[in-house]
A and B are shown apart, each in its own frame.
Chain A
Amino acid sequence: MPSSVIVAGAGIVGAALAYFLSARGIRVELFDEEAPAAQASGAADGAVSVASKRPGAMMTTALAGIALYRKLARDGVFADLFKPRSTFLVAASDAECEVLEAHCAALSGAGVRVTKIDRATVAEKFRVLSPDVGMAAEVHDEGHAIGYQIVHGLLRASGIAVRRREKVQRILVSSDGTCVKGVATAKGEYTADAVIIASGLGSADLLGLSGTLIPRKGQLLVTERAPALNGRMPGAMMSCRYLLSKGSQKGRPAPARGLALVVDPLRTGQFLIGGTREDHGDRRTNDLDAVSKILADAVALIPGLVDVRLLRCFAGARTAVVDGLPIIGRVGSFGNLFVATGFEGDGICLGPVSAESVVAMVCGEKPALNLDPFTPSRFPKLRIAA
């Protein structure tokens, strides 16, 4: 077992790594170019969910991710930070109902608890929804967590002081080239028994992954508090178009620019409304077209939102990988260099559980997750950048 580990990147993955490493008594140095949750983790929709996933490695990992959130909530690390709730997939048109039927079958087949709700029952039980809703499906046992709060909770529990505004610029390799010995920043060189790269898009420069990691912009909205309307929402409402936009249903046309709707009632009485998936564009800014279109969709689904005010819009860049799967595991022949990044829009759900498994690997144990589908070795050009 290593006695010290350097982690690059204080997003949700880096914070979870720090937490699990510290819990084993391993000394952690956590570096970030800016500050914790400064990028995607601080601008995420916070879904801890399998509702939009197809059976496969990502779904299996997401189910483990949800289980870990429940455990950490019970243990107190995520006390008051994880809101258990269902996700309701909502279909408005005939085409969407058809997609939803197929998706429900796939989810059930993978062992996910799903309840189909017909039009009449929706109209009777969920008055908050538009009468146009044709059917809904309740995906049980999911939840919501706000990324920056989770990062904060993990760091607080780890008890470490983050090295802010200190970017890892280089990975230092031992003189015989068999292992890494540490990292270099503008402030100096640091050594440790192992190094883990979890710096999202920033990982590209360190590991020669430019072209493999792609920024995918998302725009999200937060309303003011509307406690009564919020209280009548039994869970997150997800338009079935979200499935199309994520490419989860192959062979169907995805909407242009990937505008798709999720309305999540927050604990504060506010609503988080998302979002877009854009392959280009400025990362931190919002445009009126996107915002008004998202809200038009939201009001079409939940008419009561029309009387609420929009408080904030924000945008972030997810770290996507060309093949759609994250990159998690040991890097090349270096026994003590690891990477965990590329979770695209799933970092909040998958980040902590992936970090737990990476820490097991770092400590020479067999990880609880099957990380084979995510192996870095599928990208032969991945290497330590000079």
Chain B
Amino acid sequence: MPKCDVLVVGGGPAGMAAAVTASQLGLSVEMIEQRRTLGGAFFRQPIEGVRPIPQRASVKARWHKLSADMSRAPVRIHYGCVFLGVDSDGFVLFEDRQVGEVVRCAARAVIIATGAIEKVHPIPGWDRPGVSTAGGLQVMMKETGQAPKGRILLAGNGPLLIAAAAQMAMVGNPPVAIVESGDPMRPGLTGLGLLVAPYLLVEAFGFLRAVYGAGVPWLRGARIEGIEAHAQGLQATVVRRNGERSAFVVDRVGLHEGIRSNDMGLPAIADASTSSPIVIRAGDCSEPLGALAAEADGALAARKVAALLGHGQSRGGEQALLGRLRQAQAVLAKLFAPTIAPLDVPDHTTLCRCEGRTIGDLKNLVAGADLKSGREVKHNGRFSMGSCQGRFCAANTAELMTRLRPGAPPVVASDLTGQRWPLRPVSIAALVAATKVKAPVD
């Protein structure tokens, strides 16, 4: 059984910065990472022998530094390991897929850095093959060094769509269009204070240049309404602010409505010096501010843990940087505020993919005067009961429940997801193998 001061969950920017800082502060550190490489989604590494997709010099430099620091730090990394949670005995549990067993780790502290997931709004056809998240297309591109094949439509909200489109253009297959519900080019936005984070401007100009250079239409103030099967692939219907509809026949659709913390079911934060173990979250799973902020927050989490474990107080410049990045995110949110109202979504639309439950199913369940709790809706409507444990439907379900019952107390995603392990479905074979680690109970 591994024993350490700190177990870091996730080898993205937050987890790497946390591990580096914690070991610099004299703590023994182990890390689990579900893939076979570090980097997380933002720094997803290309496979061997593949030319990486073009990135800005500053991003490359950050990765270079982070990975160099990491390789110097005496951190034992367990690759191919999926975090399962903390059990009632206080053990941190993970599934080691290379060995095929569930491992319990006696860590004094656990820093959870499970990153973010993308928000996707339910629309008809979002669950068809060929439709993925835009970030899903982006990480695949980073991994393979190649653009996704065929005609691609990107749709949703926020700067990630532009970044993904630019990267696709740079590796030779620009999307046919970007559908954006906001309109960052609308007049009157100059006073927003974008200068709080000049790097964002530089990044944005770089991406926009690539997108415009490739002639990709950026349809602002527009939404994707639905995706149907078509003889030549998928047919996506797009609605403009003026009500005008147009159709795109494509091979792939990348959806993205921003990011949210990947915090479904995570063990509660426990940050008293007496907590056993101490549980802290870092990076996007704590507050979704992006990779640069995640690095700062990871270091901050490590300092906090070191202080709690009696390794002394220390200070870096992280708080100030986080403050600026928080402001920058707020500016971006205003910049990309939707300028087209949400569309009516038909009742047959899938809300929970894992369990095959629709918006109509939810409406039927919450109709009437009896104001069911999130947990009752979960149990009896099966929303969030499936394999993704609510990561892609709990927030949408909670939001729709709240909208359907004006005046009733609002419902939040955690009302549906609860807080328990396993955080991800786990092989029974691996759980049975875990009994060999320690004597069975009877």
Residues in A lying within 8 Å of B, measured CB to CB: 34-38, 42, 148-149, 152, 155, 160-162, 164, 223-224, 255-257, 259, 281-282, 284-293, 295-296, 298-299, 305-314
Contacts and interface: CB of A to CB of B under 8 A. Distances in A.
A148 B380 contact: yes
B380 A160 contact: no
A164 B87 contact: no
Contacts of A148: 376, 379-380
B160 interface: no
A290 B380 contact: no
A293 B421 contact: no
Contact of A306 (B380, B428, B435): B428
Contacts of B369: 161
Contacts of A313: 420-422
Given A289-B435, A310-B431, 18 more contacts: A36-B376, A37-B376, A37-B379, A148-B376, A161-B368, A161-B371, A281-B88, A282-B88, A288-B87, A288-B93, A289-B441, A290-B441, A292-B434, A293-B440, A306-B428, A306-B429, A306-B432, A311-B422
A285 B370 contact: no
Contact of A38 (B371, B375, B422, B431): B375
B425 interface: yes
B375 A295 contact: no
Interface residues of B, number: 36
Interface string B414-440: 000000111001111101101100101
A96 B428 CA distance: 26
A13 B129 CA distance: 45
B428 A310 contact: yes
Contact of B387 (A36, A164, A224): A224
A41 to B, nearest CB: 10
Contacts of A155: 370
Contacts of B371: 161, 164
B99 to A, nearest CB: 15
Contacts, number: 118
A152 B377 CA distance: 10
26 contacts: A35-B375, A36-B372, A36-B376, A38-B375, A42-B379, A148-B380, A161-B371, A164-B371, A255-B442, A285-B88, A286-B421, A288-B93, A288-B104, A288-B431, A290-B441, A292-B432, A295-B428, A299-B429, A305-B428, A306-B432, A308-B428, A309-B425, A310-B426, A311-B387, A312-B420, A313-B420
B238 interface: no
A291 B431 contact: yes
A42 B386 CA distance: 17
Contacts of B425: 224, 309-311
A243 B282 CA distance: 48
B89 interface: yes
Contact of A307 (B368, B372, B429, B442): B429
Interface string B82-102: 000001110101000000001
The 6 A-B residue pairs whose C-beta atoms are closest, nearest first, are: A285-B88, A35-B373, A309-B425, A148-B379, A161-B370, A256-B442
Contact of B428 (A34, A288, A293, A309): A309
Most buried by B among A255, A296, A307, A314: A296
A152 B441 contact: no
- Of B89, B104, B387, most A-chain CB atoms within 10 Å: B89
Contacts of A298: 428
Interface string B31-56: 00000000000000000000000000
B422 A310 contact: yes
Contacts of A256: 441-442
Contacts of B87: 285-288, 291
Contacts of B438: 289
Contacts of B385: 312
B420 A257 contact: no
Nearest to B382: A268
A35 B376 contact: yes
A371 B224 CA distance: 62
A225 to B, nearest CB: 9
Contacts of A296: 432, 435, 440
A35 B376 CA distance: 8
Interface in B83-129: 87-89, 91, 93, 102, 104
B405 to A, nearest CB: 12
